[in-house]
Structure 1
Amino acid sequence: MSNWQYIVLLGAVVVVFGLLLPRRKQPAAAQAVNNMEVSLEQFMENMEQDNRELTALIVQSQEEARAKAQRSEERLAELERKYSAMEQLFEQQKASAVPVQAAQVMPVKVDVPLTPVPAALQEEPEELEEPAPPVKQSIQERYADLFALHQQGKSIEAIAKKMNMNKGEVQLILQLAKQEEGARV
């Protein structure tokens, strides 16, 4: 055989081998695509089942809400009927009641045996002292220590730490004092 025959023969082997090689890889890729399609179909079936269950749950909730609303309306109507009946009964009793006048009332004599009153109860009760009305203190009088620290030039943070208060509380007290002073003027 000559060289050109060897080259042609080698080329034919490569072509045959090339044709066979992609066929082997193609089934693996086709298998992967097939697996993906099966997975997507299962996912879609699961989604459809979940949607059906969710729809059934929503329908059930709506039916329960309608039934509850209907029961409430029936109960309200029943209460309104009872109220109207009670109102009519009250008006009838009010109209049929005979007004009692002072001349018609007869005195009733009641015999009650008298018992001696203990000496402790015979004493006249001591007059109770009325508590004095609370004296309104100004905010500066109530928080004198706070204002003393403020007048010394202490910061709000330092005052809050010293007085064991929040910074916002200290600021509020200072602002209220300013408003109180403005109200006096």
Structure 2
Amino acid sequence: MNGSYYILAGAGVAIMVLALLFSSRRSKRDRMPAAPQLNIEEVEATLQRFVLQIKQEKEAESEAFYKSNAQLKKELADAKGRLDKVERELAELRTARRQPASPDQQESSGEAADVLSMRERYRRVFELMQEGLGPDEIAKRLGAGRGEIDLILSLAKPREAGAANE
């Protein structure tokens, strides 16, 4: 990287020297009054300022690059940490899901699910019963048979009693 800046500085010096040479030859040919010529010390001072400016710009750019690189590394480490945490949580959830629940829990949850599914399936029957209607009136309103309504209500009573005891 340092070599490229010196090459650019050298090219700049060469261009300036060539420009001075061409301008001096042109002025001699045209016999016009010559522009004040720069002496070598002024050219060297200008070149030194130019090289110094290039070095300062290079240092500023490299510092910005290193800061950006450090920040990206920090963000990457944070992201890796979050990923590890999520992977651990996922593994814990998978192992918890694989472990069977105790038989008592499975049985009680199964009965509760049965009661809930029956209630959902025959929701209208239970709503009418809670309103105080008898099986005959429920059968008439729903257009179902009296035996069907009796069966639904008789099956629901033991399950509700079992669910209420737990």
TM-score range, shorter chain: 0.3 to 0.5
Max Rg structure:
1
Whose helix proportion is higher, 1 or 2?
Answer: 2
Question: What is the TM-score with the length of structure 1 in the denominator?
Answer: 0.35
Q: Identify which of structures 1 and 2 has the higher relative contact order when contacts are C-alpha pairs closer than 8 Å and 6+ apart.
A: 2
